[in-house]
Structure 1
């Protein structure tokens, strides 16, 4: 058994229940919100709306959400804590830095950036920041991070992305806290995660969720990452601008048929509010919310051959094992892939590149 840090305090891993491994409460541009508060509107209304949305998720059967909102995404723990006190859901928050390119300016002339000028190796302050969030709590709130987060997107392994990735890996080695990485599967960025974090920084791939793996329909590539020991984040159900509902669902179905249900976690990457997107565009995504999995995806997959037991594994067992992954014992997620179980009878659905939706 493992104690998992949530906003309201530690929870035993066996009590996490149905867990959505990648959802946000709010995704915000902090400088804009601080200087143009009219965009945000009423704090009370935002909090009330968030509590209502999370209650809907709880009513649908969800018991825990992991919120990987970190520096670069507008993390503000006092607001999250106020919401957590009004909802029965467990909320796991994260520490890390979110960038596709450079590090925030705060880090430009700190840590490794000074190595050449000083002629010596300077420790990266990011590591101490992340470890402090995990061990001591975030910003004096006492809320401890239960997840580490970084990103690598289409630009690939830029110097800034690599610096954050290594800092996350080192904070993991010091604390044992698991990791989620925003990836761009079309660019095969999971391979860079494997090289930098696993081969060079010594992180067990079984402690890493490769986020947004479900953006790809290349099942052979996804299978190779799962075989390498990673957990695949099939976590953007409802975001169907560059793909379709059917493409995401059929990829999930095919991966389960191939025997990878025990190496996948599910989510929607939804939020109560995100200021990155014009409200008119947001209206084009009516399925992008916390209960889309339960209202649409699971019924569709059940009609196409999956079972409720297979969803129980992806929604309950794999998250539990992921948080317990540093321990020995049956079911622990590790870098040694399990033997592939038998797949359902019948022809597999296609797993091809979808046409872009309007």
Structure 2
């Protein structure tokens, strides 16, 4: 078996166990938190709360979470290390850049942006940054990224989104670390991922998770992506602001019925704390937490013909295959 990088070090892929493929510990706006710390409150209390919530996931049977928190989502590894020391869960962290439109200002006048002005091709510094996070560790912590992350939303393939996507693809080809892409299935964003990452950059689609595929009920579109070789992230269970519990669960049931359990991973895209959302709004989504799958989704799916072996495939076998590349 392969060795998988986690916050506490390498873990044999055979020991990953039940894996939630897309969960965050914290999602934060770094500049706001640094300048308005009263919003965050007590660091000690936040860490204790995170440990408690992750322990509940462990008690429900989870053994590993993949946390795709990268630049743009408030990644801060020393805090995650403190939490990992107090929880038995394996935590796989990520590298990449999260944007729906432009690259962060840091990259505006670096790399390809200078190519035309200088009359020569300038390499993108993002690629080396991502590779460094994977090979050397993140910010001197020694924690190595085990996943690459980028995003494309309803704004489509903007120049900034495409630049990050290509940098992630190049880092993957150099390291073999898998990719997860935040996608917007209503606009068939996965097709852009296919053209850029697979057709043009040469990434194996089996190493790419199309995140948030469960945001659509268009099973024909999802089947086409699965037939193209992608792994589908059915990973937003509990977020029912623009859809319903039944819509998400019925889509999962139908895709299993069509024979695609072996190309889906499951998760909730939950977090211990996300500062993007007013606390009162969070209270309107009571199912958005780390154990919703186990408490609500699986009983519903099992009653409708999904087998426990299908659930085990999506929770254990497929995430292990994605991470290990086997």
The normalised TM-score by structure 2 is 1.00
Unpaired segments ≥5 residues, structure 2: none
* 4+ residue segments displaced more than 3 Å: none
- Equivalent residue number for residue 165 of structure 1: 165
Secondary structure, in 3 states, of the residue corresponding to 2:39? coil
Matched, 1:277 2:290: no
The answer to whether the 8 Å contact 2:33/2:39 transfers is: yes
Q: 1:42-62: CA deviations, max 9, x gaps?
A: 000000000000000000000
**CA RMSD after TM alignment:** 0.5
* Length, aligned pairs only: 326
Matched, 1:180 2:186: no
The CA distance in 2 between the partners of 1:127 and 1:318, in whole Å, is 27
The answer to whether the 8 Å contact 2:230/2:263 transfers is: yes
The CA distance in 2 between the partners of 1:20 and 1:317, in whole Å, is 12
- Equivalent residue number for residue 98 of structure 1: 98
The CA distance in 2 between the partners of 1:322 and 1:138, in whole Å, is 22
- Equivalent residue number for residue 27 of structure 1: 27
Q: 1:178-224: CA deviations, max 9, x gaps?
A: 00000000000000000000011110000000000000000000000
Q: What are the equivalent positions in structure 2 for 1:260-275 lying under 5 Å apart?
A: 260-275=260-275
Q: What are the equivalent positions in structure 2 for 1:1-358 lying under 5 Å apart?
A: 1-325=1-325, 332=326
The CA distance in 2 between the partners of 1:298 and 1:222, in whole Å, is 20
Question: Which protein has the bigger helix share?
Answer: 2
The CA distance in 1 between the partners of 2:247 and 2:260, in whole Å, is 17
Q: 1:154-191: CA deviations, max 9, x gaps?
A: 00000000000000000000000000000000000000
Deviation at 1:324, TM superposition (A): 2.4
The CA distance in 2 between the partners of 1:235 and 1:107, in whole Å, is 30
Deviation at 1:260, TM superposition (A): 0.3
Question: Which sits farther off after the overlay, 301-310 or 154-163?
Answer: 301-310
Q: 1:213-271: CA deviations, max 9, x gaps?
A: 00000000000000000000000000000000000000000000000000000000000
The CA distance in 2 between the partners of 1:321 and 1:155, in whole Å, is 31
The answer to whether the 8 Å contact 2:22/2:235 transfers is: yes
The normalised TM-score by structure 1 is 0.91
The CA distance in 2 between the partners of 1:223 and 1:46, in whole Å, is 40
The CA distance in 2 between the partners of 1:310 and 1:48, in whole Å, is 34
